[in-house]
Amino acid sequence: MYLKTPSSPHTHGANGLSVVMLRVVYALIPAIAAYAWLFGWGVIINLLLATVTALATEAIMLRLRHRPLSPFLKDGSALVTALLLGIAIPPLAPWWLIVIGAAFALVFGKHLYGGLGFNPFNPAMVGYVMLLISFPREMTTWAAPLSLSGQTLSFSQNLGWVFSGTLPAGVTLDSLTSATVLDTLKTQLKLGQDINQISASPIFGAMGGTGWQWINLAILGGGVWLIYKKIISWHIPVAMLGSLALISLIFFVIAPEHHASPLFHLMSGGAMLGAFFIATDPVSGATSLKGRLWFGAGVGILTYIIRSWGGYPDAVAFAVLLMNMVAPTIDHYTKPVVFGHRKGPDDR
């Protein structure tokens, strides 16, 4: 009788990595559905391109690094990176933009640091920021919500645009696109307009941008489900959204005509996606619970600072990457007190 003698424990009760990653994917589905509903087929094409590129890149890199393909392709981490990047890219972007972004995220954001678990930065945000500073025009040409443009591209028309840059006769790119609310806010404020004048534009909805607010609500729903399922802890989302709300409230109270409301900040751009899906990436974020509060708060405050005074309209990606840099330091200073090391009245 051959008996195995591994070290204890002899039982395991956790879901594997792939289950964790798949739940993140499930949590994104409502947001993706809302996004596609409001912006058309471009969203789906983006996500498919990102996924295929990411998985192919992952496979090539694993082969080059002499790692087994199957467990790492199945772990779902490349899929999550692809979806997060795909969601963050404008729906009418040309195909090469997403392909370059996804490949860069996987190669430079992940595998060159040692692959899963070893990347200091969030790979999706590495890809996104690289695209944003390399291809600013393509990255800021956002599709207008279908309800505003009134024009819809069929799936094949959309494919034609993405791959060959041709639009059906009678449709111009300008009619399909519009600036994002954050972009508009930034440029118009610079031109001396006040919030009330700016938000009279049809691209502004009740809470955030028209259409965008629904996507953000869907992301919020998915995020809350992730917390409920214990895939993420509440610390980072609450700290990030809380600090963003607080700092925007302070400025809003001081000068409401020059600063958007906290609700607008929470419901626009990447705030929700950042809070629940990006800043919560465990690999590149802080790990102790107290550290996560600091980390989340840092992301929230940096987001507001960059949105208000930085060079880019949205700031979540930069804020997350900046906080990734300090995550190890945060962890170092937020070590929890170990049982039996506490000083208390019980000490005799």
Partner 1 sequence: MSRQLWSFHGGIHPPQYKELSNQRPIAQSSLAAELVIPLHQHIGQSPEPIVQVGDYVLKGQELAHAQGYVSAPVHASSSGTVVAIEERAIPHPSGLNALCVVLATDGEDRWLEQQLDERHYTAIEPSHLRNLIRSAGIVGLGGAGFPTFIKLNPTGRVIDTLILNGVECEPYITCDDLLMRERSTEILAGIKIMRHALQAGEVLIAIEDNKPEAIAIMQQAIANEPGIEVVSVPTRYPQGGEKQLIKVLTGKECPSSGLPFQIGVVLNNVATAYAIHRAVNHGQPLVSRIVTITGDGIKEPRNLEVPIGTPIQHLIDQCGGTSGEIERIIIGGPMMGFAMHSSAIPLIKTSNCILATRQPEQPAAPEMPCIRCGACAEVCPVELLPQQLYWHARAKEFDKTQEYDLFDCIECGCCSYVCPSNIPLVHYYRFAKTEIWSQEREKEKADQARKRHEFRLSRIEREQAEKEARLALKRAAVQEKSETPDKGEAEKQALIQAALARAQAKKESQQEPPKNTAELTPAQQRIIDEADARRQRLDAAADTPRKEAE
Of 36-44, 114-122, 190-198, 300-308, the window that binds partner 1 (rule: CB under 8 A) is 114-122
User: What is the closest distance, in whole angstroms, from the C-beta atom of residue 88 to partner 1 in the complex?
Assistant: 21
Question: Looking at beta carbons only, is 74 or 258 nearer to partner 1?
Answer: 74
Which residue number, 181 or 327, has a Cβ lying nearer to partner 1? Answer: 327
**Binding residue (CB under 8 A) for partner 1 from 220, 283, 302, 316:** 283
Q: Which is nearer to partner 1, 169 or 347 (CB)?
A: 347
CB of 220 to partner 1, least distance (A): 22
Residues 325-346 as b or e (16 or more Cβ within 10 Å = b):
eebeebbeebeeeeeeeeeeee
Q: Nearer Cβ to partner 1, position 198 or 283?
A: 283
- Between residue 3 and residue 62, which ones bind partner 1 under the rule CB under 8 A? 3-17, 19-20
Please state the separation of Cα 57 from the chain's center in Å.
Answer: 20
Closest to partner 1 by CB, 55 or 171: 55
Considering beta carbons, is residue 18 or 177 the nearer one to partner 1? 18
Q: Facing residues of 177 across strands?
A: 143
**# of chain residues touching partner 1 (CB under 8 A):** 46
Among 136, 154, 287, 313, binds partner 1 (CB under 8 A): 287
User: Which positions from 153 through 212 interact with partner 1, judged by CB under 8 A?
Assistant: none
- Binding flag, residue 344, partner 1 (CB under 8 A): yes
CB of 291 to partner 1, least distance (A): 9
Provide the minimum distance between the beta carbon of 31 and partner 1 in the complex, in angstroms, as a whole number: 22
Task: Give the Cβ contact number of residue 242 at 10 Å.
Answer: 16
Residue with tokens 């070893």: 118
Alpha-carbon torsion 36, 37, 39, 42, what sign? positive
Report the residue from 288, 290, 305, 326 that binds partner 1 according to the rule CB under 8 A: 288
Instruction: Out of 1, 169, 206, 254, point to the residue binding partner 1 (CB under 8 A).
Output: 1
CB atoms < 10 A from the CB of 207, how many? 17
Binding segment (CB under 8 A) for partner 1, from list 29-37, 182-190, 277-285, 295-303: 277-285
Task: CB nearer to partner 1: give 170 or 340.
Answer: 340
* Token output for 26: 């499930």
CA atoms of 207 and 250, how far apart (whole Å): 18
DSSP code per residue over 117-176: T--SS-HHHHHHHHHHHH-HHHHH-PBPPHHHH-----HHHHHHHHHH----TT--HHHH
Alpha helices in the chain (DSSP H): 17-39, 41-64, 69-74, 77-88, 95-109, 123-134, 136-140, 146-149, 155-164, 173-176, 181-190, 195-198, 212-228, 235-254, 262-267, 271-273, 289-309, 316-333
Tell me: does residue 233 bind partner 1 (CB under 8 A): yes
The verdict on 66 binding partner 1 (CB under 8 A) reads no
Handedness of CA 236, 112, 76, 155 (dihedral sign): positive
Give residues in contact with partner 1 (CB under 8 A).
Answer: 1, 3-17, 19-20, 71-72, 75, 77, 115-118, 233, 282-283, 285, 287-289, 331, 335-342, 344, 346-348
